[in-house]
């Protein structure tokens, strides 16, 4: 069992203490647990009052926890970077300074608006909004910093104000295929993220995951995107069952940037 997407009080919206999260992960039988605190530089340059993670304090804290719990669980230190063209140099500098295990590259903001909120979709059809979102993900794949995982593909669907919020493959086949083929060609992993409404839902959809495998994609990781203790590993068993049905037999994680495979 593994979970690579978690946020603690080092992130502006985290509600769990790091050591509490480690203890809970161990209780749940998790073998590999990754911290991935927010680094949403895009929020800052777009004028929103969101504090950046204290990277140095966060990094030192996780190194201490790694040593303390080394005989009980594999702990990883990562970052979730909110993609922004203006932030690339900043992110790159951090990865050169600190030996992070991995980076989740995520798209949260489109045209200075967080896609989590319905206002980001005002005066836009579903086709236009999701099309722009997918194009930005495709653009983000060319980021100059060293990332390993594409985070929560379909983030824009979480609270979109459309009768059918799902990102259906048959509505965007060209863009979805372009995105998936580029991810595969770059040897990046896709995160299956369970921080979405519905007990049997995830991002991206299993329909997109099926297409990913058809195109030759094999690198999958799991992230609960937990911000509190009650969501650590949430949905893991269901996701693994569905992935096996599609044909996947492994999840992956990254330790000091090196790919590791994990049988499911």
pLDDT for 245 = 97
- Residues making up the chain, counted from first to last: 264
Please say if the pLDDT value at position 194 is more than 80. Answer: yes
Structure tokens at 86: 């203006």
User: What's the whole-number mean pLDDT along residues 186-200?
Assistant: 88
* SS3 label, residue 260: strand
**2-263: which CATH topology?**
TIM Barrel (3.20.20)
Q: What percent of the chain shows pLDDT beyond 90?
A: 87
30 — pLDDT class (breaks 50, 70, 90): very high
**Least confident segment among 17-21, 111-115, 125-129:** 111-115
Which of 49-53, 198-202, 251-255 bottoms out in mean pLDDT, i.e. has the lowest?
A: 198-202
Q: Residue 57, class by beta-carbon neighbours within 10 Å (0-12 exposed, 13-18 middle, 19+ buried)?
A: exposed
What's the pLDDT score for residue 46? 60
Task: Note the pLDDT of residue 138.
Answer: 98
Alpha carbon separation from 175 to 6, 77, 83, 163, 240 (Å, rounded)? 29, 32, 18, 22, 26
Between 50-64, 138-152, 197-211, 244-258, the lowest mean confidence (pLDDT) is in 197-211
Distance of alpha carbon 209 from alpha carbon 220, whole angstroms: 9
Please report the pLDDT score of residue 71 as a whole number: 97
118 pLDDT tier (thresholds 50, 70, 90): confident
pLDDT value at residue 49 = 62
* High-pLDDT (> 70) share of the chain, %: 97
The encoded tokens of residue 87 equal 């932030």
Contact between 254 and 101 (Cβ < 8 Å):
yes
Give 203's DSSP letter. Answer: B
Distance from C-alpha of 191 to C-alpha of 151, rounded to nearest angstrom: 5
In which element (H, E) is residue 32 found? strand 32-39
Q: How confident is the model at residue 42 (pLDDT cuts 50, 70, 90)?
A: confident
Please report which confidence band the pLDDT of residue 199 belongs to, taking 50, 70 and 90 as the band edges. Answer: low
Residue 206: pLDDT over 80:
yes
Q: What gap in Å lies between CA 133 and CA 117, rounded to an integer?
A: 14
pLDDT digits (tens, 9 = 90+) for 81-116: 999 988 899 999 999 999 999 999 999 999 889 999
Q: Does residue 200 register a pLDDT over 70?
A: no
- What does the domain layout of the chain look like in residue ranges? 2-263
Return d(Cα 80, Cα 195) in angstroms, integer.
Answer: 15
In whole numbers, what is the pLDDT of the chain averaged over residues? 94
């Amino acid at each position: 069992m593994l979970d690579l997407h978690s946020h603690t009080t080092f992130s502006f919206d985290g509600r769990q203490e790091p050591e509490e999260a480690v203890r809970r992960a161990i209780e749940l039988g998790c073998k590999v647990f990754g911290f991935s605190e927010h680094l949403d530089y895009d929020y800052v340059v777009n004028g929103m009052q969101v504090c950046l993670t204290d990277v140095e304090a966060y990094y030192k804290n996780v190194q201490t926890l790694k040593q303390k719990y080394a005989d009980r669980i594999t702990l990883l230190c990562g970052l979730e970077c909110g993609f922004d063209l203006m932030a690339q140099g900043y992110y790159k500098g951090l990865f050169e300074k600190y030996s992070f295990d991995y980076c989740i590259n995520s798209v949260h903001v489109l045209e200075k608006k967080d896609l989590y909120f319905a206002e980001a979709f005002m005066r836009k059809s579903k086709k236009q909004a999701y099309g722009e979102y997918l194009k930005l993900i495709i653009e983000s794949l060319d980021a100059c910093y060293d990332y390993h995982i594409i985070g929560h593909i379909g983030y824009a669907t979480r609270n979109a104000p459309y009768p059918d919020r799902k990102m259906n493959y048959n509505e965007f086949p060209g863009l979805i295929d372009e995105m998936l083929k580029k991810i595969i060609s770059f040897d990046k992993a896709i995160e299956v993220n369970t921080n979405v409404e519905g007990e049997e839902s995830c991002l991206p959809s299993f329909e997109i995951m099926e297409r990913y495998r058809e195109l030759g994609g094999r690198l999958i990781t799991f992230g609960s995107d937990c911000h509190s203790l009650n969501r650590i590993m949430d949905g893991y068993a269901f996701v693994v069952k569905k992935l096996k049905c599609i044909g996947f037999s492994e999840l992956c994680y990254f330790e000091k940037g090196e790919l590791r495979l994990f049988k499911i």
